[in-house]
Amino acid sequence: MNIPLFLRRLLLPLLLVSGIAVADQPVKVVYQFSEGLEQASRGLNNIANHLEADPTAKIVVVAFGPGVDFLLDGAKDKLGSDYQLKIAELALKGVDFRVCNNTLKYRHIDPARVDQEAKIVPAGVAEIANLQFKEHFAYIKP
């Protein structure tokens, strides 16, 4: 396609400005946790590595189904370490944790058992869809 010179001269500054604006914005990523404690351990390590490489990244973890288990009081990894410390460390770095209320209801989990760093949202899958579509988050499932 051959774009006329006058049109290229008009469009080039707009393209450059829009590229600069995007480059200045932090990367936004939603991590889906839905498979239990093993996935949570992997995912939390992925997030720590992600933030080490890009400390400005905006990260949201959305947990539903068995993925909420690491956010419940007393949850421990396979080595016996509490997840609570890792969650608190990542929350201090700006990571948001969100838990599916549908899962809590379906599994009869008292919301008081959910880690204080986590926010309860109506539906985990709807939360992910909104973050991707409305807020342009990239999606990762560790």
> What per-residue confidence (pLDDT) applies to 24?
78
Q: Is the dihedral of CA 103, 107, 110, 116 positive or negative?
A: negative
pLDDT of residue 21: 47
Residue 117 has pLDDT above 60, yes or no: yes
Strands (E), 1-142: 28-33, 58-63, 96-100, 118-121, 138-140
Residue 124, SS3? helix
102 closest CA partner among 50, 63, 55, 135: 63
Phi-psi region of 50 (alpha: psi -120 to 50; beta: other; left: phi over 0): alpha
**CATH code of residue 117:** 3.40.1260.10
pLDDT of 124 above 50:
yes
In a domain, 109, yes or no: yes
Domains contained in the chain, number: 1
pLDDT in tens, 60-98: 999 999 999 999 999 999 999 999 999 999 999 999 999
Question: Does some domain include residue 10?
Answer: no
Domain encompassing residue 94: 25-140
Within a domain: 95: yes
> Is residue 98 situated within a structural domain?
yes
CA-angle at 117, arms to 90 and 134, nearest 5°: 80
The reply to whether 1 falls in a domain is no
